[in-house]
Copies of this chain bind each other. A is one copy, B any other.
Amino acid sequence: MDSLIEKIKSEGRLLDGDILKVDSFLNHQIDVSFMKEIGAEFYRLFSDCGVNKILTVEASGIGIACITAQFFNCSAVFAKKSKSANIGDDVYTSVAHSYTYNRDNVITVSKSFLSPKDNLLIVDDFLARGAALTALVDIAEKSGATVSGVGIVIEKAYQGGGDTLRARGVRIESLARILRMNKEEGIVFSA
């Protein structure tokens, strides 16, 4: 998605520790009009799949999921990273290690909101090692829902999480795929 690559080039910042900061438009401040372009692109890619629900994980995925859900005219569900006092026990869970926060997150979805009748598009902001996404797919599988596909805004392809999941048969479409990034070359995108 050329406009996304341009946006990353103009606003993204490469920091030590293999960090790409895109918090001016994607995951802290959200450029909502640009997010609509992202939602429209996910719709273009997955509109023929019969998707009836968008699944993501808090927090950065929620805005993407809500904007994308408008195009599919469906609801969004976000997995929770903290077990709140009131979510109840009737839940699907899976463990995802967060490298950003350096801790294990048990992510949780109430059984009320996923079922074998659901046909899911999973969305998230980043795909790197794939921990969060693998946990979401795991939860979807536990519920019996179909996963028609995964829409990712930025994939760090060199970290391999996407390819591992693709090898399991999951259809993943990433709007920007980064082959490598470093101070010498900057950010190198897949063609």
Contacts and interface: CB of A to CB of B under 8 A. Distances in A.
In this complex, which of A32, A87, A102 has the most chain B Cβ atoms within 10 angstroms of its Cβ? A32
A67 B80 CA distance: 20
Interface magnitude class on chain A: 35 or more
A10 interface: no
**Copy total for this chain:** 2
Nearest to A16: B86
Interface string A57-87: 0110011011101100111111011101111
Contacts of A86: 15, 17, 19, 21, 100
30 contacts: A15-B86, A17-B86, A23-B87, A23-B112, A24-B112, A24-B113, A25-B75, A28-B77, A28-B80, A29-B75, A29-B77, A29-B112, A30-B62, A30-B66, A31-B75, A32-B69, A32-B76, A33-B70, A36-B70, A58-B59, A59-B78, A62-B63, A63-B63, A63-B76, A66-B66, A67-B67, A84-B101, A85-B100, A85-B101, A85-B102
